[in-house]
Amino acid sequence: MRKFLLSTIAAGLLAAATPALAHEGPALDKQVWSWQGVFGHYDKAQLRRGWQVYHDICSNCHSMNLLAYRNLASLGFTADQIKAFAAEKQVTDGPNDQGEMYQRPARPSDHFVPPFANEQAARVANNGALPPDLSLMVKARHGGPDYVYSLLTGFTDPPAGHVVPDGMYYNRAFNGGNIGMPPPISDDAVTYADGTKATKDQIAKDVVSFLNWAAEPELDQRHALGVKVIGFLIVLTAMFYALKRKIWADVH
């Protein structure tokens, strides 16, 4: 009995400690995002800027294999613009009439073309590190958008006594501090088509918004449906209350 009680207490203490241990790590820079909250929604202009950041910077190393070019129509891009984005890349297709595979420009129906032919080629180009696919990155990390924002803006000089190996960089938001990715963004790293000033902070927020949309593109529709359901329940509650008053009006 004593052993059973001790094991039960130990299991309880471990269960209580596990969430705390799982959430340990560098402090994140908390941001206010337009899509958060019951009435939150995506800023389409910001999503288009975020796509530009991914297109111009992030796509040189990172894939987004779960998105197709035609999905960009949700951001307000025209069919011609989407065709132009896709046609910048070549994909392998076939076989043709001679039984051979061939290269052709990507189409809107194609998924985003990755920057490397395979994982080994990606590792060779990045000193052995494999740049992760960004399709679900915001959902794959504790802290979500705040973590990705903190990582993008967290490159600093290391604290005294911290050793950064050759070929690596110090990032205060990354567990352990040492990261293989060089600082990807800086002021004026892109020239926004809509004229927005491209500060490092703005670039980070825009691309994080785009990555969140990529991981959760149905958010606006879900929030809109939730508001309608809440409204319906309020009206239904009022009707039932009025009906109850009517039925029991003559009862004293």
Looking at residue 252, its pLDDT comes to: 63
Q: What is the pLDDT of residue 145?
A: 97
Listed in order, strand segments (DSSP E) in 26-136 are: 90-93, 102-105
- Give 147: exposed, middle or buried? Use CB within 10 Å, 0-12, 13-18, 19+: buried
What's the CA gap between 55 and 181, in Å, rounded?
17
The pLDDT score that the predictor gives to residue 123 is 93
Spell out the domain ranges in the chain.
Answer: 220-252
Q: Which amino acid is at 98?
A: Q
Pairwise CA distance, residues 38 & 192, whole Å: 30
Would you write out the chain's pLDDT as a tens digit for each of its 252 residues? Answer: 444 444 444 444 444 444 444 456 778 999 999 999 888 999 999 999 999 999 999 999 999 999 999 999 999 999 999 999 999 999 999 988 888 899 999 999 999 999 999 999 999 999 888 999 999 999 999 999 999 999 999 999 999 999 999 989 999 999 999 999 999 999 999 999 999 999 999 999 999 999 999 999 987 777 666 767 778 788 888 888 888 787 887 776
pTM check: above 0.85: no
Beta strands, E only, 46-168 = 90-93, 102-105
Residue 250, token pair as written in the block = 């003559």
What per-residue confidence (pLDDT) applies to 13? 45
Q: Residue 185: its pLDDT value, please?
A: 97
Judge whether 204 and 185 are in contact, CB under 8 Å. Answer: yes
